[in-house]
Structure 1
C-alpha cells in the first residue's frame, strides 16, 4: 500500500490573532499544546475563540483505483466567561457525512496551576488521543496502536482536575469517567456485545451519546517536561465496562479493564522523535465471550 497525503491543514486562530504551530513538538516543552490547550491559553483577551483543521487523504493501493477522502474537518469553538471559566468544544465532520462532538467541557481555573474540568473530554492515554491533529503523527493514517489498543479518538463524559507543579516540571490530569459500553439486550433475555478481538475496545466507546453508567472509571496522566526538548508521559486507566439495566445482572455482562501507557517525545532544531508503549489487560473475558 502506497499512501500519499495531498493536503493537511492545521490552523488555530482567535478573532484578533492567528497563530499556527507546525507540530506538537517544540524545543521548549512548555509550548507543546494540542488544539484545546491553545484555545484555553491563547484567546488573547477575547471572549470567543475559533480554530479549525482539516485533512484530505489520497490512498493508492497497488493495482486498484485510488481513493480521495475528506477524512475530517474539525471546528473548535471556545468561549471565555471570565478570567477563571472557559468553555471548549470540538466538532468533527468525518468523510463529509458524519458529525461528531469530540470535546465539550468547561474549565474552571481554581489557581494558576489547578483547574477543574467537567463535560465530554479526551481520555489522556498515550500521545495521539490528546494530540490527534494530523501533524502529530507521521504518515497518512493514525498509527495502528491508536486505533486498535487506544481507540482514538477516545472521549467520554466525566469530571476531574488538571494542572502543573512548575517547580517539579510536572503536569497532571485525573478524571472520573463513564466507561466503555459492553453489552446491549438482544430482546430475548440475552445480550449482544460491543467488544471484539478484531476491533478491541473501539466498539464500546459511548462518545457521550445517551451514555450508560453503572460504575465509574478512573483515568490519570503525568507529564514531565523538565529537560529541554523532551516530554515524558505516564498514563493509566482503570475500571469496568458499563451495561444497561436489563442486562447488567447477566453473568459476563461486563469486563474489567486496566491500561497503562508510557510515551516520550523529543525535539531538537529540525529533528523530532516520538514513541509510546501501551499495555492493556482485560479480565472476566471468558464469561463475556
Structure 2
C-alpha cells in the first residue's frame, strides 16, 4: 500500500513539474511574441515619425512608392477702413490650392515637390499665380542626417515650413511672418538637416538669395525671387538650431546672411543679417507661441530711409477646448523702417477668434481683426471667415 501511495505521489509531483515546465515554455513563447509585436510597433512608429519629420508632405495617400497630398483654403474678409473707408477690404478668395507629390526611389533617396495655384486664375489680367514651392531630392547619407538638393523652404519662423490650414489659428497668416519673415519663402541650393541628439536638431543651407533695392524701399518681402530666372550674383546662407527638451516644448534660433541684398544691381552693395527666435509650448490644451525676427541691413541706401533695421514679433496664446474647438488671441507688431530715419512706420495688429475642426484635417475659422498704424493710413477693422483642409 505504501509503495502504491509513493508511486502516486511521484506521478503527481513529476506531473506538476512537467506541467510547470510546459507553462514556463508557454509563458516564454508568449513573451517572445509580445517582444516581437512591440518591436514591430516601434518600427512602425519610428517610420511614421521619420516620414512626418523629413517630408514636406504632412499627410497623403500612397500609390506604391508615390504619395499624393495637398491642402487648400478659402477666405472671406469683411474689413472696414478705419480712417475714411478707402482702405476697406471686402472680398472672397480661394487663396490657395496645393498638391504635394512625394516619391521614394530607395529607403534613403526621395523626391518631395509642391505645386500651388493662388487666387484661382493666373493670367495677365488676374492676380493669380502658378508656383512650384518645393522640388528637391532628399539624400539620407547616414541615419538621421540628410542633405537636400533643389528647391526648398527656408527654415525660419513657424509658418514657412508648416502652413496647412488645420495646423494654425486664424484665417490669414500673421503679418510678421509675411512682412519680416517673407512666408512663403523658398530658395534653391543645398540644405543639410539632422539630429544631433534626441533633443537637438540642426538645419544649414547655402542657397539663392533675395533681390531688393531702393525701388522697393528695401522691404524684405519684395525681394523674393521665387527661383524664377533668379539673379545668382549674391548667394545666401541660413542656419537653425532647434531644441526640444520635452514633449510640447520647442525652442529654435535661426540666422541668415546675404552679402548683397541688391544682387549687385546698385552702385553700393547692401549686406543683410537676420536672426529669428521662436518659442512654443503646448500642455493639456493650453498653447502659447512667441516669435521675434530682426533684420540688419548695412548700406547708405537703407539707412537713409530707416530700412536698415526691420523687425517684428507676435505673441499667441491659445486653448484647445476639445478635439473640435479651439480659441486664440494674437498681438503682432512689425516695422519695415525701424531705423532712426524711419519716421512713424510701426504697424500692429490684434486678432481674436475660434477654430472648429469637424475632422482633424478640415477646419473652419472665424476671427476679429483690428489694425493700428502709427501713420493712420490703411488701418482696417472687421472679421475674417475661412475654411481649409489638408490630405
What TM-score, normalized to structure 1? 0.76
Whether 1:152 and 2:170 are equivalent positions in the alignment is no
Superimposed CA distance per residue, residues 86-127 of structure 1 (whole angstroms, 9 cap, x where no aligned partner): 010111110102211111111000122110111111111111
Offset of residue 202 of structure 1: 1.1
Pick aligned residue for 1:57 from 71, 75, 78? 75
Pick aligned residue for 1:79 from 78, 100, 103? 103
Relative distance call for 1:287 and 1:163 in structure 2 (3 A) is: closer
Distance in 1 separating the partners of 2:215 and 2:67: 37
The answer (yes or no) to whether the contact 2:280–2:290 under 8 Å persists in 1 is: yes
The 5-angstrom pairing of residues 107-186 of structure 1 reads: 107-167=138-198, 169-182=199-212
Relative distance call for 1:273 and 1:135 in structure 2 (3 A) is: farther
Relative distance call for 1:235 and 1:287 in structure 2 (3 A) is: closer
User: 1:235 is paired with a residue of what secondary structure?
Assistant: strand
Whether 1:269 and 2:293 are equivalent positions in the alignment is no
Distance in 1 separating the partners of 2:95 and 2:54: 19
Structure 2, unaligned runs of 5 or more: 1-48, 122-128, 305-391
Structure 1, unaligned runs of 5 or more: 1-28, 184-192
Distance in 1 separating the partners of 2:133 and 2:165: 15
The answer (yes or no) to whether the contact 1:181–1:204 under 8 Å persists in 2 is: yes
Offset of residue 61 of structure 1: 2.4
Whether 1:205 and 2:241 are equivalent positions in the alignment is no
The answer (yes or no) to whether the contact 1:194–1:204 under 8 Å persists in 2 is: no
Pick aligned residue for 2:236 from 217, 238, 250? 217
Relative distance call for 1:85 and 1:65 in structure 2 (3 A) is: closer
The answer (yes or no) to whether the contact 2:262–2:270 under 8 Å persists in 1 is: no
What TM-score, normalized to structure 2? 0.57
The answer (yes or no) to whether the contact 1:106–1:118 under 8 Å persists in 2 is: yes
Paired position in structure 1 for 2:58: 38
The runs of at least 4 aligned residues of structure 1 exceeding 3 Å deviation read 29-35, 42-46, 62-66, 241-244
Relative distance call for 1:265 and 1:238 in structure 2 (3 A) is: same
Paired position in structure 2 for 1:251: 267
Offset of residue 155 of structure 1: 0.7
Offset of residue 194 of structure 1: 5.4
Structure of larger gyration radius: 2
Distance in 2 separating the partners of 1:211 and 1:151: 17
Superimposed CA distance per residue, residues 138-180 of structure 1 (whole angstroms, 9 cap, x where no aligned partner): 211111101110111011111121011234x111100001111
Residues matched between the structures, number? 243
Paired position in structure 1 for 2:114: 90
Paired position in structure 2 for 1:186: none
